[in-house]
Structure 1
Amino acid sequence: MPSDSLTEFHGLPTFDFSGARGAQGLPPADSVAWRIWVESYDAEIPWDKEFDRFAEAVDLTRVRALVVGAWSDAYESGPDEVVEALTGARDRLTSLRALFLGDMTFEECEISWINQTQVAPLLRAFPALEEFGVRGGQELGFDPVDHASLRSLRIETGGLDGAVVRGIGASTLPALERLDLWLGVENYGGTTTVADLAPFLSGERFPALRHLALHNSELQDEIAVACASAPVVARLETLDLSMGTLGDAGAEALLAGQPLTHLRRLDLSHHYISEALQERITAELAGAGVEVDLDDDGAREDADGDEDFRYVAVAE
């Protein structure tokens, strides 16, 4: 779970509107990603009222990126007032191209405690949106959508419901270049199976996909085995299987599968791969010019060779 709020989004520095005092000294509306939040505990005003304050101070027609921080009682209530406020302002937010929902640190609300909501209405309300991110998987919904502009989709959870993954997989997203799914663990609501990932691995439904991250999973070996023969991998620039419980079984499958030397980057960080296999991966891929990340973040030492002690990078 991030210990700091986003400092950059959609290529723009974030600006903490809710921490600002008054409208004087605010940056130009199109020069930053605006972060709007209220206290997650004992908020004095609800999020939609803070957004009203923002709308009075900033020209909404020029806003390019919004970062939604904490809303009232996020540990037990979803962001329905956020969705209503944003969709209600769709006719003024005509330049909005990027939206992140739930930028909270663990001090504000642990990732697996964040209550979310059905997010498809946000995508439908903003057909020009190019980047969309969500943090928190509890009560998260993602009905299938048709969206011609979305280029980047990021879902961060400690446990991702398979229904959400299937909803994304059934969506029509012809421009999608980057997909980042934190799959998490069963104890925190992670019900995604490898079969649910088939629409992304087949290479058919998402023709523009170039960067694929299927990570933070306790099924990381099984996902690696599936990727070893997945048609989509041949056209990827980046494959990210980091943050999970990847071990020798998954690493051996990757080495024995289709060539990976065309990749610009292979991220296997936070892993449980033996030193011998790490040397093989480095020799075969890094030696061919692939940037390979094999930093284990201390996870291998923590597990001490026992699979029962493997853990994902972000759960609670």
Structure 2
Amino acid sequence: MSNYDGDERFAGLPIAELNPMVNPKATRADNAAARNAKPLPAAADAAWRLRIEGYPSSEKFTEHVARFLDTVDTTLVTAVLVGMWEPGEDSKEAVRSLVDAADRLPALRHLYFGDITPEENEISWILQSDITPLFEAFPRLETLIVQGGQDLVLEPVRHESLRHLEFRTGGLPARVVRAVGASTFPALRTLELWLGTDEYGGDATVRDIEGILRAGGLPALTRLGLMNSEIQDEVAAAVSASPVLGRLTELDLSMGALGNEGAEALLIGQPLGHLRVLNLSHHFITPAMRERLTAALSAPGLALDLGDPQQADDDGEEAWRYIAVAE
């Protein structure tokens, strides 16, 4: 579940950054990278990460974006990762900076918004904002990954080109989940939501995912991930009875608190033999139930992932369940 490929690639391209600016408040050693600037790759040959580094930084995030626009031929840029903006501030200015530059980024197809490492900011401490303008400013966008759920806002939208949408959070607000279900994405094939825990703002219930499970606005959807949820048993039961299930080739219910109840719902619900992938990893399913699942879901071509088992209920005692990514 990394932010990008292990060899620092995004959207099939190596990740590049602008050379750092010299910070007059920093030491000579800290400025060594800026003084030993390396040639930048061609604009179309990299996914460009926009971020500020150090505190205090030598530039604001808006200034960094302006330098990017002045340095790189952005008309050829197809992939951008928005990383660390001003510490302690929400993403409003970062959203505005991209939206204002939309006419300078006509080829942008892949966007990772919130590419922030745990060393910079824990996932549930990332302050987001209203990202609806990103959908409106980039009508040709094909991939959008958003990390961080605090203060995240999304209004229902229609987007004709988007094929891959992910929300990676330790707590995804219910209003955002409902907005996704109320949106229309005719080309969307992959939808992945890390629902998270109520402790970090993940207040969605099964009722909030009903719009997604009806999939009225998602006619091309083939891969659905409803993941990292503390109500994973209820989610599994809802998915097993949903209209969207028969259209999927991949179902991902991993990273959450799935136990025997959810596993039983999958067994007695609609047939799953048409799936190519069923990912239930990081779960609280007992060994006996895992054997039942394996026996029942041994259809040719179906890859069942029951890896990363956690301590399951034992001898009538309920185990403490936790999701894979919270704080």
TM-score of the aligned structures, taking structure 1 as reference length? 0.93
Aligned to 2:310: 299
Aligned to 1:52: 66
Is the 1:40–1:70 Cα contact (8 Å) retained in structure 2?
no
Aligned to 1:135: 147
Q: Which amino acid aligns with 1:104?
A: I
RMSD: 2.1
Matches of 1:217 and 1:132, distance apart in 2: 21
Is the 2:4–2:10 Cα contact (8 Å) retained in structure 1?
no
Shift of 1:120: 0.5
Tell me: CA distance 1:312–1:30, structure 2 relative to 1, closer, same or farther (3 Å).
Answer: same
SS at match of 1:299: coil
Shift of 1:191: 0.8
Deviations 1:38-81 (A, max 9, x none): 137433321111112211221010000000111111xx311222
Aligned to 1:8: 9
Is the 2:281–2:307 Cα contact (8 Å) retained in structure 1?
yes
Instruction: Verify: 1:114 aligned to 2:115, yes or no.
Output: no
Shift of 1:27: 1.6
Shift of 1:156: 0.7
SS at match of 1:288: coil
Is the 1:100–1:133 Cα contact (8 Å) retained in structure 2?
yes
Shift of 1:278: 1.1
Matches of 2:276 and 2:71, distance apart in 1: 43
Is the 2:19–2:37 Cα contact (8 Å) retained in structure 1?
no
Please, which of 221, 235, 240 is the counterpart of residue 247 of structure 2? 235
Matches of 2:200 and 2:46, distance apart in 1: 34
Matches of 1:145 and 1:41, distance apart in 2: 37
Shift of 1:23: 7.5
Alignment of 1:218-257 (within 5 A): 218-257=230-269
Matches of 2:101 and 2:251, distance apart in 1: 37
Is the 1:40–1:71 Cα contact (8 Å) retained in structure 2?
no
Detail structure 1 runs of 4+ shifted over 6 Å in the superposition: 3-6
Tell me: CA distance 1:178–1:4, structure 2 relative to 1, closer, same or farther (3 Å).
Answer: closer
Is the 2:283–2:306 Cα contact (8 Å) retained in structure 1?
yes
Is the 2:274–2:302 Cα contact (8 Å) retained in structure 1?
yes
SS at match of 2:275: coil
Q: Which runs of 5+ in 2 are unaligned?
A: 21-32
Q: Which runs of 5+ in 1 are unaligned?
A: none
Shift of 1:300: 2.2
Matches of 1:280 and 1:247, distance apart in 2: 13
Matches of 1:5 and 1:51, distance apart in 2: 24
Is the 1:39–1:72 Cα contact (8 Å) retained in structure 2?
no
Deviates more, 1:62-71 or 1:38-47: 38-47
Shift of 1:308: 5.0
Aligned to 2:27: none
Please, which of 172, 175, 186 is the counterpart of residue 187 of structure 2? 175
Is the 1:5–1:103 Cα contact (8 Å) retained in structure 2?
no
TM-score of the aligned structures, taking structure 2 as reference length? 0.90
Shift of 1:163: 0.5
Larger radius of gyration: 2
Q: Which amino acid aligns with 1:45?
A: E
Aligned to 1:72: 86
Shift of 1:166: 1.0
Matches of 2:187 and 2:54, distance apart in 1: 35
Is the 1:62–1:95 Cα contact (8 Å) retained in structure 2?
yes
Deviates more, 1:151-160 or 1:42-51: 42-51
Please, which of 30, 47, 55 is the counterpart of residue 33 of structure 1? 47
Aligned to 2:281: 269
Matches of 1:124 and 1:12, distance apart in 2: 25
Is the 1:117–1:141 Cα contact (8 Å) retained in structure 2?
yes
Aligned to 2:320: 309
Is the 1:34–1:66 Cα contact (8 Å) retained in structure 2?
yes
Matches of 1:10 and 1:247, distance apart in 2: 34
Identity %: 49
